[in-house]
Structure 1
Amino acid sequence: MQTSFKSSVLSWKTIVSLALCVTGFSGMVCAEDDALTANALKILTAKCGKCHSSENRKADLDLSSIAAILKGGESGDIVAPNYEDSLMWEMISNQVMPPEDEPQLSGAELEVLKRWLEQSKFKPVVNERPSQWEVLPILQLRCVICHGKHVAEGGLDLRTHASILKGGKSGPAIVPGNPAESLILQRIHAGEMPPKRRIVEASIKVITAQEVEKLEAWITSGAPNDPAMIDAPGSEPDPLVSDEERGFWAFKTPVRPSIPLTKHSDWPQNGIDAFIFRAIEQADLQPSSAASKETLIRRVYFDLLGIPPTVQQIEEFLNDDSPLAYEQMVERVLASPHYGERWGGLWLDLAGYSDSEGIQESDPVRPSNYLYRDYVIRSFNADKPYSRFLKEQLAGDDLADYTNPDHVSQEVVDNLIATGFLRQSSDGTYSNITGFVPDRNRYIGAAIEVYTSAVLGLTLKCAKCHSHKFDPLPQRDYYRLLAVFKGALDENTWMSPLKDRGVSSLKPMRLLSVTDTETRRAIEAHNRRVETELAMIRKELSALEVATITKLQDQALNSLPEQIRDDVRSALNESKEKRDKVQQYLVEKFEAQIRFDIERAQTADADFKAKREQVIARIKAKNGEKREVTPIRALWDRGDPSPTYILTRGDYLNPARRVGPGVPSVLTDGQTEFKTRVPFEGSPSTGRRLALAEWTTDKSHPLTARVMVNRIWKFHFQHGIVRTLDNFGVAGAKPTHPALLDWLAVEFMENDWSVKHIHRLILSSATYQQSSLLTDAHLEKDPENELLSRMPMRRMDAEMLRDSLISLAGVRWDKQFGAGDPVASRADGLVTSTAIDNAVWRRSIYVLHRRSQMPTILTSFDRPRMSPNCVERSESTVAPQALHLMNNQQVSSWSTQFAQRVFEGAGEDQEKQVRLAFLKALSRQPDQQELSIALEYMEKMAPGISGANSPADLNFKVLSQFCHALINSAAYIYID
C-alpha cells in the first residue's frame, strides 16, 4: 500500500513517543508544568513560527506542538534528556536562531525556554518496533546487488515486502514472527551472506550488528507491511517553501520589458543599447567612442572563434567600405567551423569534460569520450536550439527508440552521445576498492551538481546534507531531484564506467554499442569479408599442419623395422575400444615415437615452425582489420529504480523518510505533481529525466534562458549581468541590468533558443563596438565598469593563447574531431602535447584532456582540472606565466616559426617586418611611436647576437628576438 506523504504523518518513533507521553510510561514526561509548556510553545510560535510551523517547515522542522518538536527536523532530534545537549538549546543560546534579521529572544524568554527544556527531561524511546522502511534500505545497501531486479541469484529478490515473503529457490526469505526460522537471518548468522568471496567484486560491506538487530526485530514483530509514506510533489501547498520565497526575482518567469527611451536617440543601435545607455545617462556619463575596425575584427575573431584573423581576412574587412561590412564579417565568422570549437569548448567546461576517469593514480583514459566533445562542437556549429541541446543531454535516451538496430538514425545516435553530459565527472567505480556506495553517491552528486550549476544557476549541492542556508531549497528537494536520475544512476545496482575494468555479472559496463543502421551494416559487411579471408588463411594453416605432421609421422614409421611397420600403423589408426592386446602393446611402445602434435612438429621441423608463425601473423593481422561499433559513454534509464530516501546529514548509513521524484519546489507553484510518461513503446524507462528535460526547457521556466544568456554575455563582456554565474539565488550577485537580462532571455526563447541570434544582437550593438579607452569620468562614476560605459579588455584564456601561437607559427592543423591528440610528460616535469608527424598541432580542444597530464602551457594560464566542472575560470597573474612564454623551448620554437613567416613576407626590410608582425599578431599596424621603439629595439639587439652566418641570417635572428618579445607583450595577450 502506498500513501502520499502529509505534513502530519508521524514515524513509528513519533507515534510511540506520543503514546508514552500521554501514558507517562518509560519516564517520557513532556512537561511537568502545563503552564510552562504553554508559555514555551507561545514563545516558539512568536519568535520561530514564521519559519518553523505546520505551514512553513524550514529544515523540515515544526515547533508549533510537542508532537512536532519530538519529531525533530532534517538534522535529527532537537531535544535531549540533558537540555545542554539539545540542538534547540545550542541554536538559541548561541544566538544562531532566530536569524539576526528576525526578532530576537529576550533574556526572559531565553530563561523560560531553558527551564522548560531542563524540566521536561525528554528521554529516548525504548522498545520501539522498526518499520519495514527502516529495514528495506539495509537490504538495498547490502543485498540487492545480488538479489534484485537485474541480478536475482537463487531466484531471490529482496527489494520489496512481497518479494521477500515470496523468497527464492530455497523458500521464503523470512518467517514473520519467527526470526530463528527465517532463512535470511540463518545465512547472515552463518556468515554466508553477503558471501565473502563476492564482497570485493560487488563493492559492498558486511552487514553490521546493529543492522542485523534491526532486521531481526522487524521479523520478530511480524514483519508488518507498513504503508509507504512517500514525500512527493502533490496538489496540496508545500509547507517547506512559501509563496513569498517564490517571489524572488530569479524564481519568477521572465517577462519581456519595454525598451527604455534614451535622451540621445542616436546612441542605441538595438535593444541592448537602449538598456545600457539609459543606465549610462542616469549616471551622467557618455558611452565610449566606437572602436577601430582593426580592433573590432580582432575582438570578434577571438570572441567567436578563439583564434586571430589572418592577414587576408583583416585586409578584406578593412578594404570593405560598405555599410554592411561589419555585419557581413560577423556572419562569416559565425559560419566558420571554428566557431563550435570555441563555444563548444566553453560548454565542455560546464559539463566538466575530461578524457580520463581520475580518482586513482592510474587515471585510466576514456577511449571514446571524444564522441561527446565532437557532438558539442557540431551542435554549436549547427546552432542547434538550446532547448533541444539540453533535452538531448538530459534525456537523449528517452527521445527515440534506439533498441532496434535496423532502425537507428544518426540523430538517434547523437541523442545517446549527448547524455555523456552527465558522464563527465571523475568516476573511480571502475575499481572495486573505489566503487562502494559512498563512491557511487559522490559521482551521482557530481552529476546533479553539473546540471544545477551549469543549467539552473543554483547551488543545490548545499542541500545534500541540510536545507540551503540562503535559498528556499529544502534538503528534501535535493533528494527528489536525485530520484529523477535514479533510473539511470542507482547506487544500489551500479555499472562500471569502463569496458575492460570492474565489469562483472554484478556490475555490467555503462557503455552502449549503438550506431546508425547504415554504419552498422557497413561494419557487418566489412567483417564478413574479413571473416571469409580469415577462413581461407585458417584453411591454409590447417593444411600446412596436417601435411607436416603426416610427413613427420610417416618418417617416424618408416624408421621402424619393416616387419612391424604395418602392424604399428594399423594399431595407431584403430580406435582405442577396438584394439586387441597386441595392438594395445604396440601403441604403448611406439606412440610416443610416432605421434606428433603441433609443438613437437615445430621442434622437429624448423621450416614448418617459421611458415606456421608467418601464417598465424597473417591471421592476427587480418583479425585486426575487423571493425567494431565505437562504444558510447552514454546514460540510459534501466527502469524500476530503488527507492530514494533523504539521508540525514548526507550519511548513506542514516536514511530518513522516502521521497518521490521532483524538481526544486521554489521553481514551481508548489502544488503540481511531477508527471512522467513512457518515452516510447516498449521502453523500460521511468521517463523521469525526460520529464525533467521538458520542465527545464519550458518557456515558463524562471532560470534556464536567463542563465544561458547571462553566460553568453559574460564571454563577450568579461562579466555576466549576474556576476555569480552559478548562483542566481538570494546570496548571489544582483543583476546589474535586470530588465536587460529578462529582455534577452525572452528574446532568446522567442527566437528558437538560438545562441547565434544572441551573438548577433550583442555584436551588432553599439555597446559591444565601444572602445576600451578609460577616462577620468569612467574612474569616478563607473570604476568597476558595471554600467559598461566602455568595453572591458580581456586576457586570452589558456586555449586562446596556445591556439593563437600555433596559428602565428603557421603550424595549426585544422583537422576536426576524433580521438584526442596524445600528451607526454617530460623529464623536466613539463607536460606537452605531441606534434602530428613532428610538424603540426591541432587546436587545444583536440588535445587529450587527461586529469593527471594537462599540458603545462594550459594549466599555467588557468585551464582547470574539472571538479566536477568549471562554471567560471579563475584568472591569475603569476610569475610562471611570464616565465613560460619567455623561456619555454616550445614557445620559443613557435615564435621562431612566426618570425620565419614574417621574414618570408617582408624580406630583410625591418620596417616591413615590424608592420607585418604587428598585423599578424595584433591585427593592426603599429603607430609611429610603436614603430620607432620596435626599430630601435632591433637595432640595439643586433650587436649582441652571435653565430650569424651572414647579414641575412643576422637580420632573421634579430627578427626572431623581436617576434618573441611581441608575443610576450600585453598588447598581444590582451584583447582590446
Structure 2
Amino acid sequence: HKFDPIPTKDFYRMQAVFGSLSFSDRKLPWQKNENLTGLKADRERYQRLQKAKAIRSITTLPEADRPVKQFDKNTERIGQGKVNNKRRQQLNYQLKRSNPLAFSVANGANDRIHILKGGSIESPQAEVSPGVLSLFAGSEKGASVTTDKSGRRTELAHWIASKDNPLTARVIVNRVWQWHFGQAIAGNPNNFGGTGKRPTHPELLDWLAATFVEEGWSLKQLHRRILTSAAYQRATAHPDWEALIKLDPNRTSYAVFAPRRLTAEELRDAMLSVSGELNRAIGGTPAHPEINEEVAMQPRHIMGSVGPAYQADPTPAQRNRRTLYAERIRTLANPMLEIFNKPGPDVSCERRDSATIAPQAFTLMNSPIHHARALAFAARLEKERPGNLDRQIVRAFQLVFQRQPTKAETKACHTHIAKMLAHHKATAPVKVEPPKYVIRQMVEEMTGLDFWWVEDLDIYSSGDFVPDLKPWDVKPPTRALAELCLVLFNSNEFVYVY
C-alpha cells in the first residue's frame, strides 16, 4: 500500500521499467472476431447530425409552447452559436471514436530515470535502474529488471505472475471470496500492506492462493471451488443465534451464510434475463439503456456549454444488453444503478456499500422501467404457458426463485391477480409518448442575459425508436399478471442471494 514504508528508490525503479515506453495509435482494419453491430448505424447518425442544425430557436415553436415571449436576439445569436460549435466538436469526436484504431506502445528512447528531490523535475538526484519492490524480491539485486529497452515490461509481468510472488494470487482470491461472501478474508482488499486488516483465516487464504496457482491461475476453477464449498452452501439460519453471536460477534466463522444483496448490475441483468429481454451479445458499441426521463432530460454542463440530452438506443436489443456494456457518463449516473450503490467511476472501490434505504423499494416498485420488465415477463409467461394461470404462476416461480410455489403462495398469487384484474378492467392506461424535443436555458457570459434554444431529440422524433411493451399494448389480464411479476421482482428472495 502507498502508505507502507516503501523506499523512495523503489518507486523510481518501478517508473524506470516504463522509462523507454512511448504510446502510439495505429490505424488498422477491424478484426474478423470484433462485434461491429450498431457501428455503421451510429456513424450514419452522427454524420446526419453534422449536416443538420444541432439546435434551433424557440421562435420555431408554437407561441403557446415558448418559455418566454420576448428575449434579446443578439444574446440568442451569440449563445446559440457557442452551443452549436460545442455540438460540432462532440460530433467530430464521436465520429473519430468509431474509426478502427489500435492503442499500442513502442520502445522509444532509453530515458534515464532519476530520484527527484521533493518530486521536482528541477532537482534530479541519483540515477536508478529498472526494478521491482525490493521488499518482495529479497534483495535489491533480486529486484533488478533488465536495462535493455526491450523486455522490461515482460520481466515485470513475469515477476507479478510468479508463483514466488506472495501478493498477486492472494489479492485475487481474496477479492473473489469477497464477491461471493460479501466480506473478504483480509478485510482491506486494496491494502495488503502493514496498515491493512489482518486475514481472519490466513491458512485458508494461503491454501486458496496456492491452489489457484497450481491450477494455472484458473478463475473458473476458483469460482467452482468456492461455490461448491460447505461454507458457501450453508443455510442463512442457525438453531441458536444467541450462542452464535456470543462465540462469533463479527461473523467470521462462516457458521451460516450471510445473505448478499445483488449488485446494481446483477439486479438489472437478472430482471432482463427473467423477462426474456436480455441481449447476451459480447462486445460491440456501448449500450444506452433507458433511464429515468427526468434525469435523462436534465442539462449536463460541459466546458462552458450544455451536453446533448441522453437518449436511449432505438431498439430493445440495443438497450437491453448486459449492464457491463452500458456507457458510463461521468456527469450522468443511471439513477437505478446509483440507488443500489453502484460506485462512481472516479474513485477506487475496494468493497461496495450495500446500504438498505427506502428509495430502493420505491424505485423497484414504482419505476416505469421496472414496470416494463414486469410486463415483458408477463408476456413471456403467457407465451410459454398459454391459457393456464396455475401453470403461469408455477413458471414465474421457477424463473424468479428456481423453485415451485407452495400452496399458500399459489393461493395468494391468485387472490392478488384477481384484485389487479378488476382494477385494470376498470382503469384504462394513458398512453405516453417519448419527448420529441427539450427546451434549454443558459446565461450568456458576454451579455449576462438568459437565452433559450430547442434541442431536437433525433432518436425519439425520427420514428426509429421501438419502445418496450407498454400497458396500452396489452389487455387487462396481461397487466394483472404483470402486477404479480412486479411483486416477485421486489421480493427479498429475488434481490438477495441466500
TM-score when normalising by structure 1: 0.36
Separation in structure 2 between the aligned mates of residue 740 and residue 727 of structure 1, nearest angstrom: 18
Alignment partner for residue 713 of structure 1, among 146, 171, 177?
A: 177
Give per-residue Cα distances to partners, 1:70-108, cap 9 Å, x unaligned: xxxxxxxxxxxxxxxxxxxxxxxxxxxxxxxxxxxxxxx
Alignment partner for residue 512 of structure 1, among 8, 12, 26?
A: 26
User: Aligned residue for 2:16?
Assistant: 483
Separation in structure 1 between the aligned mates of residue 480 and residue 150 of structure 2, nearest angstrom: 68
Aligned 8 A contact 1:808 1:921 in 2: yes
The structure with more radius of gyration? 1
Separation in structure 2 between the aligned mates of residue 635 and residue 854 of structure 1, nearest angstrom: 32
Matched letter for residue 794 of structure 1 = R
Whether 1:703 and 2:167 are equivalent positions in the alignment is yes
TM-score when normalising by structure 2: 0.67
Q: Using a 3 Å threshold, how does the CA distance of structure 1 residues 955 and 666 change in structure 2: closer, same or farther? A: same
Shift of 1:734: 1.2
Whether 1:669 and 2:138 are equivalent positions in the alignment is yes
Separation in structure 2 between the aligned mates of residue 846 and residue 677 of structure 1, nearest angstrom: 39
Aligned 8 A contact 1:918 1:924 in 2: yes
Separation in structure 2 between the aligned mates of residue 904 and residue 629 of structure 1, nearest angstrom: 42
Alignment partner for residue 359 of structure 2, among 873, 880, 887?
A: 880
Separation in structure 2 between the aligned mates of residue 765 and residue 917 of structure 1, nearest angstrom: 29
The one of the two structures with greater contact order (alpha-carbon pairs below 8 A, sep at least 6) is 2
Aligned 8 A contact 2:385 2:391 in 1: yes
Q: Using a 3 Å threshold, how does the CA distance of structure 1 residues 654 and 964 change in structure 2: closer, same or farther? A: farther
Spell out the pairing of 1:451-466 with structure 2 (5 A cutoff): 459-460=1-2
Alignment partner for residue 212 of structure 2, among 741, 748, 753?
A: 748
Matched letter for residue 8 of structure 2 = Q
In terms of fraction of residues, the more strand-rich structure is 2
Give per-residue Cα distances to partners, 1:684-704, cap 9 Å, x unaligned: 835322221111112111101
Separation in structure 1 between the aligned mates of residue 26 and residue 108 of structure 2, nearest angstrom: 12
Q: Using a 3 Å threshold, how does the CA distance of structure 1 residues 515 and 785 change in structure 2: closer, same or farther? A: farther
Separation in structure 1 between the aligned mates of residue 411 and residue 123 of structure 2, nearest angstrom: 74
Whether 1:725 and 2:189 are equivalent positions in the alignment is yes
Q: Using a 3 Å threshold, how does the CA distance of structure 1 residues 731 and 830 change in structure 2: closer, same or farther? A: same
Alignment partner for residue 645 of structure 1, among 115, 121, 128?
A: 115
SS of residue paired to 2:116? strand
Separation in structure 2 between the aligned mates of residue 675 and residue 687 of structure 1, nearest angstrom: 12
Aligned 8 A contact 2:236 2:257 in 1: yes
Whether 1:914 and 2:393 are equivalent positions in the alignment is yes
Matched letter for residue 646 of structure 1 = L
Spell out the pairing of 1:254-403 with structure 2 (5 A cutoff): none
Aligned 8 A contact 2:14 2:130 in 1: yes
Separation in structure 2 between the aligned mates of residue 860 and residue 970 of structure 1, nearest angstrom: 17
Shift of 1:868: 5.3
Alignment partner for residue 866 of structure 1, among 326, 333, 345?
A: 345
Matched letter for residue 644 of structure 1 = H
Alignment partner for residue 270 of structure 2, among 804, 807, 825?
A: 804
Shift of 1:954: 3.6
Matched letter for residue 851 of structure 1 = R
Matched letter for residue 837 of structure 1 = T
SS of residue paired to 1:511? strand
Aligned 8 A contact 1:794 1:975 in 2: yes
Aligned 8 A contact 1:821 1:833 in 2: no
Aligned 8 A contact 1:808 1:920 in 2: yes
Unaligned runs of 5+ in 1: 1-458, 461-467, 490-494, 496-509, 520-627, 679-683
User: Aligned residue for 2:481?
Assistant: 959
Aligned 8 A contact 1:918 1:925 in 2: yes
User: Aligned residue for 1:970?
Assistant: 492
Shift of 1:677: 4.1
Separation in structure 1 between the aligned mates of residue 376 and residue 482 of structure 2, nearest angstrom: 8
Q: Using a 3 Å threshold, how does the CA distance of structure 1 residues 974 and 938 change in structure 2: closer, same or farther? A: same
Paired-residue identity, %: 30
User: Aligned residue for 1:586?
Assistant: none
Matched letter for residue 894 of structure 1 = R
Matched letter for residue 111 of structure 2 = P
Give per-residue Cα distances to partners, 1:386-417, cap 9 Å, x unaligned: xxxxxxxxxxxxxxxxxxxxxxxxxxxxxxxx
Separation in structure 2 between the aligned mates of residue 671 and residue 658 of structure 1, nearest angstrom: 15
Q: Using a 3 Å threshold, how does the CA distance of structure 1 residues 629 and 953 change in structure 2: closer, same or farther? A: closer
Q: Using a 3 Å threshold, how does the CA distance of structure 1 residues 487 and 823 change in structure 2: closer, same or farther? A: farther
Whether 1:632 and 2:138 are equivalent positions in the alignment is no
Shift of 1:897: 0.8
Matched letter for residue 737 of structure 1 = H
Shift of 1:633: 2.5
RMSD of the TM alignment (CA)?
Answer: 3.1
Separation in structure 1 between the aligned mates of residue 404 and residue 169 of structure 2, nearest angstrom: 41
Whether 1:786 and 2:255 are equivalent positions in the alignment is no
Shift of 1:654: 5.6
Spell out the pairing of 1:96-115 with structure 2 (5 A cutoff): none
Separation in structure 2 between the aligned mates of residue 918 and residue 788 of structure 1, nearest angstrom: 29
Separation in structure 2 between the aligned mates of residue 846 and residue 833 of structure 1, nearest angstrom: 16
**Comparing 703-712 and 936-945, the one that deviates more:** 936-945
Separation in structure 2 between the aligned mates of residue 727 and residue 755 of structure 1, nearest angstrom: 21
Spell out the pairing of 1:9-158 with structure 2 (5 A cutoff): none
Q: Using a 3 Å threshold, how does the CA distance of structure 1 residues 924 and 802 change in structure 2: closer, same or farther? A: same
Unaligned runs of 5+ in 2: 33-97, 298-309, 430-473
Separation in structure 2 between the aligned mates of residue 786 and residue 749 of structure 1, nearest angstrom: 25
Alignment partner for residue 900 of structure 1, among 354, 379, 382?
A: 379
Shift of 1:891: 1.6
Shift of 1:725: 0.7
Whether 1:926 and 2:405 are equivalent positions in the alignment is yes
Separation in structure 2 between the aligned mates of residue 515 and residue 859 of structure 1, nearest angstrom: 37
Shift of 1:924: 1.4
**Where has structure 1 moved over 6 Å in runs of 4 or more?**
none
Shift of 1:762: 2.0
User: Aligned residue for 1:763?
Assistant: 227
Alignment partner for residue 795 of structure 1, among 261, 278, 282?
A: 261
SS of residue paired to 1:512? strand
Aligned 8 A contact 1:676 1:686 in 2: no
User: Aligned residue for 1:814?
Assistant: 280
In terms of fraction of residues, the more helix-rich structure is 1
SS of residue paired to 2:27? coil
Shift of 1:474: 2.8
Shift of 1:761: 2.0
Q: Using a 3 Å threshold, how does the CA distance of structure 1 residues 852 and 637 change in structure 2: closer, same or farther? A: farther
Matched letter for residue 380 of structure 2 = R
Separation in structure 2 between the aligned mates of residue 824 and residue 906 of structure 1, nearest angstrom: 29
Shift of 1:796: 0.9
Separation in structure 2 between the aligned mates of residue 665 and residue 878 of structure 1, nearest angstrom: 47
Aligned 8 A contact 1:857 1:884 in 2: yes
Q: How many residues are treated as equivalent by the alignment? A: 373
Separation in structure 1 between the aligned mates of residue 490 and residue 386 of structure 2, nearest angstrom: 23
Separation in structure 2 between the aligned mates of residue 794 and residue 778 of structure 1, nearest angstrom: 19
Separation in structure 2 between the aligned mates of residue 925 and residue 789 of structure 1, nearest angstrom: 28
Separation in structure 2 between the aligned mates of residue 860 and residue 747 of structure 1, nearest angstrom: 38
Q: Using a 3 Å threshold, how does the CA distance of structure 1 residues 873 and 515 change in structure 2: closer, same or farther? A: farther
Q: Using a 3 Å threshold, how does the CA distance of structure 1 residues 970 and 827 change in structure 2: closer, same or farther? A: closer
Aligned 8 A contact 2:291 2:335 in 1: no
User: Aligned residue for 2:427?
Assistant: 947
Give per-residue Cα distances to partners, 1:535-569, cap 9 Å, x unaligned: xxxxxxxxxxxxxxxxxxxxxxxxxxxxxxxxxxx
Whether 1:688 and 2:152 are equivalent positions in the alignment is yes
Separation in structure 2 between the aligned mates of residue 833 and residue 928 of structure 1, nearest angstrom: 45
Shift of 1:907: 4.3
